[in-house]
């Protein structure tokens, strides 16, 4: 039986890892401790999981629990710190996406992993979602031949999308913006389907809805004088989880969960467009908006023998659908085919449960290459991080070489 400890006590940490470890995987996964920078939040998580030991120091948790695996589900900008320290302590690491937020931190992780001989796994649950996996299987079967171009449009609604601008994610230094925090999911799927390395990025980004509106407003929804007529007003006291884990825990660290969407601190983009060229000369056209009237995504894959079209419109961030989703295949000989995939399962269309099985059981067959290591995590986050640089510099940029053997401007890879 492997021993696990958890860093971070937010909703993803609780529902993706903590609760399942004590309810579904306790026969093979011993949950030995939790640490969060906010000790009250860690205690709340512990209580929901039967009294798991709470530590007030990460190093103390490692020393006392002696875990085999450290699960990192803290704020994005802290991922590299805990990953590197866990590797140095001789632990394997499971990291929530994104693995980290920029090039330098990414290189630090890869160097620590190589030096330690331990392993970093990144939790890209969409690879395990049946709809995305079915597309990968069709591509491997040669359904449309060699891939030449992909187009992906992703749109977040004014509830889910807006929420990123209330939280710590709203500052680039914390999250790398949505092009890292959110789009790393999307870039990973495109990389996986493409089966080639991203090489060059040209991006544009701006704020059209959220951010400083130069009008008088409160610091937070709870006490704002404009709450009666604000489209984006959120009552923090009506959500039981947010009320307990964040509102009640504010006094510990000063983190306010319902910050104003129009605050001057916001420096991430809500409107983004990215072009990517891959090593195989195929291309990706990608866009993300965070203020759509409804939520979902659409993608098209163009190949030498045809085109695949897929889309998913859903009403919640969990991506659960009440009916089958369809894959449309259009071939160059004029024939068409429709493949139906069951996407009714909860947990990102069923992806979360399948991912946990791979993480905790291990040793399962992986014919589609769904399990993601640190190099996979690096390639997806670096598209977003390089896109941020491209926007700032106003030009196309090649992806940096962050391999551990990169020395004096040349790679030994």
Q: How confident is the model over 160-211, as pLDDT tens digits?
A: 999 999 999 999 999 999 999 999 999 999 999 999 999 999 999 999 999 9
- Measured CA to CA in angstroms, residue 90 lies from 110, 116, 397 at distances of 15, 7, 36
**3-class state of residue 123 by DSSP:** strand
Give start and end residues of each alpha helix (H) in 244-373: 250-253, 346-349, 351-361
**3-class state of residue 320 by DSSP:** coil
Distance in angstroms (rounded) separating the CA atoms of residues 339 and 337 = 7
Is residue 7 situated within a structural domain? yes
Q: What is the mean pLDDT of residues 382-401?
A: 98
**3-class state of residue 291 by DSSP:** strand
Distance in angstroms (rounded) separating the CA atoms of residues 311 and 45 = 36
pLDDT for position 319: 60
**3-class state of residue 323 by DSSP:** coil
- The residue that leads in pLDDT, 347 or 86, is 86
User: Percentage of residues in the chain with pLDDT exceeding 90?
Assistant: 90
pLDDT for position 408: 38
76 and 147 share a domain? Answer: no
Distance in angstroms (rounded) separating the CA atoms of residues 317 and 294 = 11
Distance in angstroms (rounded) separating the CA atoms of residues 133 and 72 = 25
- For residue 152, how many C-alpha atoms fall within 13 Å in the half-sphere facing its CB? 22
Q: What is the mean pLDDT of residues 218-242?
A: 95
Name the nearest CA neighbour of 404 among 97, 94, 196, 112: 112
Tokens representing 32 are: 């030995």
Tokens representing 247 are: 């509102």
Is residue 202 situated within a structural domain? yes
> CA 86, 87, 89: angle at the middle one, nearest 5?
65
Q: What is the mean pLDDT of residues 232-253?
A: 97
User: Are residues 93 and 87 in contact, defined by beta-carbon separation less than 8 angstroms?
Assistant: yes
Where does a domain end: 107, 122, 137? 122
Strands (DSSP E) along 124-164, which ranges? Answer: 147-157
Q: Which domain holds residue 194?
A: 126-210+266-350+370-398
Tell me: the pLDDT tens digits for 339-386? 999 887 777 667 899 999 999 998 889 999 999 999 999 999 999 999
Is residue 409 situated within a structural domain? no
User: Are residues 284 and 299 in contact, defined by beta-carbon separation less than 8 angstroms?
Assistant: no
12 and 45 share a domain? Answer: yes
Find how far residue 122's CA is from the centre of its chain: 9
Where does a domain end: 122, 138, 154? 122
26 and 101 share a domain? Answer: yes
Name the nearest CA neighbour of 15 among 370, 361, 355, 366: 355
pLDDT for position 147: 98
117 and 194 share a domain? Answer: no
Average pLDDT, the chain: 94
User: Are residues 150 and 132 in contact, defined by beta-carbon separation less than 8 angstroms?
Assistant: no
Distance in angstroms (rounded) separating the CA atoms of residues 214 and 375 = 42
Where does a domain end: 122, 148, 170? 122
Instruction: For the beta carbon of residue 24, count every other beta carbon within 10 angstroms.
Output: 14
Rg of the Cα atoms in the chain: 21
57 and 132 share a domain? Answer: no
52 and 31 share a domain? Answer: yes
The secondary element (H helix, E strand) that includes residue 19 is helix 19-23
pLDDT for position 316: 61
Is residue 356 situated within a structural domain? no
194 and 286 share a domain? Answer: yes
114 and 179 share a domain? Answer: no
**3-class state of residue 219 by DSSP:** coil
User: Percentage of residues in the chain with pLDDT exceeding 70?
Assistant: 95
Is residue 300 situated within a structural domain? yes
Tokens representing 31 are: 């949950």
Strands (DSSP E) along 227-335, which ranges? Answer: 271-278, 283-292, 295-303, 306-314, 325-331
Tell me: the pLDDT tens digits for 359-369? 999 888 999 99
User: Are residues 94 and 348 in contact, defined by beta-carbon separation less than 8 angstroms?
Assistant: no
Is residue 215 situated within a structural domain? no
Is residue 412 situated within a structural domain? no
pLDDT for position 163: 97
Tokens representing 314 are: 């859903």
Question: Beta 325-331 vs 397-398: how paired, if at all?
Answer: unpaired
**CATH code of the domain covering residue 56:** 3.40.50.720
pLDDT for position 404: 65
Distance in angstroms (rounded) separating the CA atoms of residues 163 and 261 = 8
Instruction: For the beta carbon of residue 292, count every other beta carbon within 10 angstroms.
Output: 16
146 and 65 share a domain? Answer: no
Q: Work out how many domains the chain is built from and give that number.
A: 2
Residues whose CB is less than 8 angstroms from the CB of residue 373 and which lie 6 or more positions away in sequence, other chains included: 119, 120, 121, 122
User: Are residues 27 and 17 in contact, defined by beta-carbon separation less than 8 angstroms?
Assistant: no
96 and 136 share a domain? Answer: no
Distance in angstroms (rounded) separating the CA atoms of residues 153 and 112 = 35
Tell me: the pLDDT tens digits for 290-332? 999 999 999 999 999 999 999 999 866 556 555 679 999 999 9
204 and 342 share a domain? Answer: yes
Instruction: For the beta carbon of residue 337, count every other beta carbon within 10 angstroms.
Output: 13
Range with lowest mean pLDDT among 7-11, 108-112, 322-326: 322-326
Is residue 75 situated within a structural domain? yes
**CATH code of the domain covering residue 344:** 3.30.360.10
CB-count exposure of residue 393 (10 Å: 0-12, 13-18, 19+):
exposed
173 and 64 share a domain? Answer: no
Find how far residue 250's CA is from the centre of its chain: 25
């Amino acid at each position: 039986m492997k021993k696990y400890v958890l860093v971070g006590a937010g909703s993803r940490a609780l529902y993706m890892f903590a609760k399942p470890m004590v309810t579904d995987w306790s026969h093979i996964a011993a949950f030995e401790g939790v640490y969060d920078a906010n000790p009250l939040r860690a205690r709340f998580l512990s209580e929901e999981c039967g009294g798991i030991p709470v530590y007030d120091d990460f190093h103390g948790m490692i020393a006392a629990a002696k875990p085999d695996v450290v699960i990192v589900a803290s704020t994005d900008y802290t991922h590299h710190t805990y990953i590197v320290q866990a590797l140095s302590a001789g632990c394997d690491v499971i990291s929530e996406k994104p693995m980290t937020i920029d090039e330098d931190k990414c290189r630090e992780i890869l160097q620590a992993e190589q030096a330690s001989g331990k392993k970093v796994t990144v939790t890209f649950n969409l690879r395990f979602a049946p709809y995305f996996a079915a597309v990968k299987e069709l591509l491997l079967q040669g359904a449309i031949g060699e891939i030449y171009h992909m187009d992906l449009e992703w749109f977040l609604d004014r509830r889910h999308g807006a929420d990123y601008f209330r939280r710590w994610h709203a500052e680039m230094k914390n999250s790398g913006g949505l092009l890292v925090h959110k789009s790393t999911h999307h870039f990973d799927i495109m990389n996986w389907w493409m089966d080639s390395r991203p090489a060059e990025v040209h991006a544009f980004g701006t704020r059209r809805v959220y951010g400083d509106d130069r009008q008088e407003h409160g610091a937070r929804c709870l006490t704002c004088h404009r709450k009666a007529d604000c489209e984006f007003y959120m009552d923090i006291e009506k959500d039981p989880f947010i009320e307990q884990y964040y509102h009640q825990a504010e006094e510990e660290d000063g983190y306010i969960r319902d910050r104003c969407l129009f605050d001057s601190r916001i420096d991430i983009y809500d409107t983004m467009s990215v072009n990517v060229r891959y090593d195989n000369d195929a291309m990706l056209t990608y866009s993300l908006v965070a203020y759509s009237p409804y939520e979902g995504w659409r993608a098209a894959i163009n190949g030498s023998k045809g085109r695949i079209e897929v889309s998913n419109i859903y009403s919640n961030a969990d991506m659960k659908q009440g009916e089958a989703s369809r894959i449309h295949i259009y071939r160059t000989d004029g024939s068409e085919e429709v493949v139906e995939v069951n996407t009714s399962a909860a947990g990102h269309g069923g992806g979360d449960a399948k991912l946990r099985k791979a993480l905790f059981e291990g040793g399962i067959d992986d014919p589609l290459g769904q399990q993601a290591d640190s190099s996979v995590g690096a390639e997806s986050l670096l598209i977003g991080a390089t896109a941020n640089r491209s926007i700032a510099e106003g030009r196309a940029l090649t992806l940096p070489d962050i391999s551990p053997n990169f020395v004096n401007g040349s790679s030994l890879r």
